[in-house]
């Protein structure tokens, strides 16, 4: 969870990816974990007693357009970093986070995922996980490519950030 904001540069790799990362929609935007709550970024669904083999973790923000190989690599590296640093997660948030006030989320120290590709790329620059996972040269090329994509899109920013632009249709659908 410590690296979740930076991981978005890989897990939500297009400007269009952030149209689904909106509070109240299906994809969670709040960096928290829960046992039953689908509004949390990470969910550990309950399993019957003595059925530990049925345990699983859901990391719920990756966009369908992400490269699954890169996604798994950075997610696993972030998890290993947490194990190495012995980072204990905060208490689970088992109430619907979308229903919490901003003040309550702040009190619970619940971070929010980036709201744009540009914001995710800024997080990427200050987090070593993605760079270490991809290697410096590949990470630099990826960052350059994605920043170029953002710069191309920037002049097409709609007033309603959830509106799909003609630029996006051309770039992602018709290209």
53-98 pLDDT tens trace: 878 888 988 999 999 999 999 999 999 999 999 998 889 998 999 9
Q: What is the pLDDT of residue 152?
A: 96
Q: Provide the pLDDT confidence category of residue 38 given band limits of 50, 70 and 90.
A: confident
CATH number for the domain that contains residue 110: 3.30.590.10
The percent of residues above 90 in pLDDT, for the chain, comes to 71
What stretches of the chain adopt beta strand conformation (E)? 30-34, 40-43, 58-59, 111-112
Cα separation of 45 and 38, whole Å? 9
CA 53 vs CA 49, 73, 101, 120, 146: distances in Å: 10, 23, 37, 35, 39
Number of structural domains the chain divides into: 1
Residues in CB range of 62: below 8 A, 6 or more apart: 11, 12, 71
Q: How many residues does the chain have?
A: 175
Q: Provide the pLDDT confidence category of residue 104 given band limits of 50, 70 and 90.
A: very high
Q: What is the pLDDT of residue 78?
A: 95
pLDDT, tens digit, 9 for 90 and up, residues 59-70: 988 999 999 999
Range of the domain at 103: 4-174
Residue 25, pLDDT > 80, answer no
Q: What is the pLDDT of residue 35?
A: 86
- HSE at residue 60, side-chain half, CA atoms within 13 A, is 25
Q: What is the sign, positive or negative, of the torsion defined by CA atoms of 71, 76, 77, 82? A: positive
Token digits for 73? Answer: 């690599």
The mean predicted confidence, pLDDT, of the chain is 92
Q: What is the pLDDT of residue 9?
A: 96
**What is the secondary structure of 127-144 as a DSSP string?**
-HHHHHHH-HHHHHHHHH
The candidate with the shortest Cα–Cα distance to 142, out of 126, 119, 154, 125, is 125
């Amino acid at each position: 969870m410590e690296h979740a904001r930076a991981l978005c540069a890989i897990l939500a790799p297009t400007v269009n990816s952030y149209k689904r990362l909106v509070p109240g929609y299906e994809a969670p935007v709040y960096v928290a974990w829960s046992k039953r709550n689908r509004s949390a970024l990470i969910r550990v669904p309950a399993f019957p007693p003595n059925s530990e083999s049925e345990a699983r973790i859901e990391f719920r923000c990756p966009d369908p357009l992400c490269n699954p190989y890169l996604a798994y690599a950075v997610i696993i590296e972030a998890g290993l970093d947490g194990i190495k640093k012995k980072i204990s997660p905060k208490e689970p948030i088992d109430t619907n986070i979308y229903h919490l006030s901003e003040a309550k989320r702040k009190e619970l120290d619940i971070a929010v995922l980036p709201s744009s590709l540009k914001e995710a790329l800024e997080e990427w620059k200050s987090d070593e996980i993605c760079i270490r996972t991809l290697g410096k040269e590949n990470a630099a090329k990826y960052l350059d490519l994605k920043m170029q994509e953002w710069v191309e899109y920037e002049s097409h920013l709609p007033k309603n950030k959830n509106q799909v632009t003609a630029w996006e249709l051309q770039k992602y659908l018709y290209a």
